[in-house]
Amino acid sequence: MVRAGPGMNALSPPSDRLRSWIADHLDPLDDGAGVAGVRPRSDYDLTPGGWSAAPDEPLKPAAVLIGLVEREEGYSVLLTRRSDTLRRHTGQVALPGGRQDPGETPWQTALRESHEEIGLERHFVSLAGLSTPYQTGTGYLITPVVGFVTPGFSLVPNPHEVADIFETPFGFLMDPKNYEEHERELPNGERRRFYAMTHAERLIWGATAGILRALYDRLYGAAVA
């Protein structure tokens, strides 16, 4: 059972109280210091003992934007479907974001990548804070940056990176009943378990689902019975 936060009703419009409540559960924007002592979530969490694909080299910093769009019916989250021409993660559902350039903060990366990938202008985004970092099996340490997105924007997918842009209700993504544990066999014969959920015939899985589940745990986890 989940105890809802202030105004946490998928059918109700977002409120200032809900915005403040969400922001209060995030780490502050302080050049990453707010997440330095936080144990990252990872692709290995659902596979006891991990799996041998875990990288030995230092993790590469990256960031994604969890963009909460303020719709009349409630918040929705901006998501993309990756281009079919990419070398990795072809066609998968993703949050806008990418690798962090030297000298960038995580939120600068998330905003830059969101503009490059989907054309989201910076002035539409009000940054709220940082969610739990996430380690991927491909060697990235992703910092999720949460921001409130004011409607009125016009999005254009970068065809080299993004095939489609869509929104998924925040209430759906914050409902633990919608998360399933799937299993897939790796090329070396090992088996990997991961979170997955389906909304409007779109499968959200892997790191994207793991990052969103970590946000749910941060906001509501203590209230789960």
**Domain boundaries along the sequence of the chain:** 16-45+55-223
Please report the pLDDT score of residue 61 as a whole number: 96
Q: Which of 218, 197, 215 is nearest to 66 (CA)?
A: 215
Please report the pLDDT score of residue 7 as a whole number: 47
C-beta of residue 65 within 8 angstroms of C-beta of residue 110: yes
Superfamily of domain 16-45+55-223: Nucleoside Triphosphate Pyrophosphohydrolase (3.90.79.10)
79 strand-pairing partners: 166
C-beta of residue 3 within 8 angstroms of C-beta of residue 21: no
Please report the pLDDT score of residue 52 as a whole number: 58
Enter the tokens of residue 144.
């999720």
Distance CA 13, CA 36 (A): 34
> Residues in the chain with pLDDT < 50?
1-3, 7, 10-11, 33-34, 86, 89, 223-225
Pairing of strands 134-135, 125-130: unpaired
Distance CA 44, CA 50 (A): 5
Please report the pLDDT score of residue 43 as a whole number: 86
Please report the pLDDT score of residue 26 as a whole number: 95
Residue that the structure tokens 């694909």 belong to: 53
For 177-203, the pLDDT digits (tens) are: 999 998 877 666 777 889 999 999 999
Instruction: Give pTM, 2 decimals.
Output: 0.88
Please report the pLDDT score of residue 218 as a whole number: 93
- Residue 2's CB: how many other CB atoms inside 10 A? 16
Buried/exposed code over 140-177 (b: 16+ C-beta within 10 A; e: otherwise): bbbbbbbbbbeeebebebeeebbeebebbbbbbbbeee
